[in-house]
Amino acid sequence: MVVRPDAWSAAARLIARWLDQRERLDALLESLPAGLPAAERARCQHLVYGVVRHFGRIDAVLGKLVTHPPRFVTRAVLFVAAFELIEAHDSPATDGRVAKIVHHAVEQTKKLASPAEARLVNAVVRKAAAELMGPAPDGASADESALADYFSHPRWLVERWLRSFGVDVTRQLLEWNQRPAPGYARWRVESESPPEFLKASAWPGFFEVAPRRWREVAPLLKSGRLYLQDPSTRLAVELLAPQSGETVLDLCAAPGGKGLLIADAMKKGRLVSVDVPGARIDRLKENLATVREVEVSLVQADLLEGIGPLLRDDHRLPESYDAVLLDVPCSNTGVIRHRADVKWRLQPGDFAKHAAQQLAMLHAAAKLVSPQGGRLVYSTCSIDPEENEGVIRAFFNSRAGESFKLINQIQVLPTVANHDGVGAFLLVKNSR
């Protein structure tokens, strides 16, 4: 007899892997069974993201109740059930839901582990319910430890944000990151009206995609008429202001969302997309293939190795460009709501490492800007000052910075913008 996979057991198995190996969530979810129906797949993803999003809070509670942690599959059952308890917090029929959650977790444990472990799960989930469904810590008196535990963020990160942003903004960021992110997409075809099931957003051209409409969305994505994209991505491109007929360089281009936005804005011209060889290049190729009128070139190279001669000699491309977008690798602190596992991968020393690499990349990108008033946009999806104004300040304190002027900048917190947080800076080269 073939047992059909279900969302709950699939989620528990993925969480067991995550607890053991800390794999990236996007890679984990790609390993879901092909036979899992769309609705079950969506439910599984919801459970997995929910557990990882609330991992700190759940782990703190379970740590008080389980002296010796059981094997990973049993721990995973406890975590998934605990997330369901958190979800049930605002339910009008809380008692009934708790009983159902406990019963379901016990039955899943019998299937995934053993009857003996099911007895442990029964006892622990019942005891965990009261604490997991309790109120948030008081905003005025809660210390960083209480905030970190309840809102499931590393304590060191909460302390860093308190120093940078203060108590009120930090609390808002923590609450923001704990809410599931809506899905956004950009409609790319001006000659066609978007389908009615796409809900208009506050940002022209961007639409909210309802979770249950992915069957209709898939063919639109495949045809290139629609692209999944957060509205925050428009900010760096709007600063760059690509014009028809220009030659634009998109550095750190994968997976290609900002490059597509540049091409769609230009209508005509040339786009050169550069990124290091790796797993994301296939996505970049696939996305760039949907560009029609703009001439597109893809170069696989490491910016820090000096790509000017490579562009000229190996690809017969320009060495300098009217406009250059440098969207650097960063801490991703502005997109934690979308990437729930980011906060658990980050380490305190990562910010300085990122800033050093970002500054080196900014210096390398500056060499590729046209001396005739060329434009350079440096952008991140970080909200951290060290990766934003800190890098820009260091650049202008160097000799290379003497050739540029800072014309404009945008730094937004997600709680203010109501989309992902970003930093973007427009630098213009002094004409000779």
Residues annotated as catalytic are: 381
Long-range CB pairs of 343-348, under 8 A, 24+ apart, other chains included: 343/152, 343/153, 343/154, 343/157, 343/177, 344/22, 344/52, 344/55, 344/154, 345/22, 346/154, 346/157, 348/156, 348/160
* Identity at 346, one-letter amino acid code: L
The answer to whether residues 308 and 285 touch, using CB atoms and an 8 Å cutoff, is no
Burial 6-34 (b: 16+ CB within 10 A, else e): ebbbbbbbbbbbbbeeeeebeebbeebee
* Identity at 253, one-letter amino acid code: A
Burial 277-313 (b: 16+ CB within 10 A, else e): eeeebeebbebbebbeebebbbbebebeeebeebbee
SS3 content of the chain, % helix, strand, coil (to 5): 50, 15, 35
State the Cα–Cα distance between residues 287 and 397, nearest whole angstrom: 37
The DSSP string of 13-29 is: HHHHHHHHH---HHHHH
Residue 29 has which token pair? 């979810």
The answer to whether residues 54 and 152 touch, using CB atoms and an 8 Å cutoff, is yes
What one-character DSSP code corresponds to residue 67? S
Q: In what order do the strands lie in the sheet with 183-187?
A: 199-200, 206-209, 183-187, 226-228
Residue 64 has which token pair? 């008080």
> Phi-psi region for residue 418, left (φ > 0), alpha (ψ -120 to 50) or beta?
left
The answer to whether residues 52 and 344 touch, using CB atoms and an 8 Å cutoff, is yes
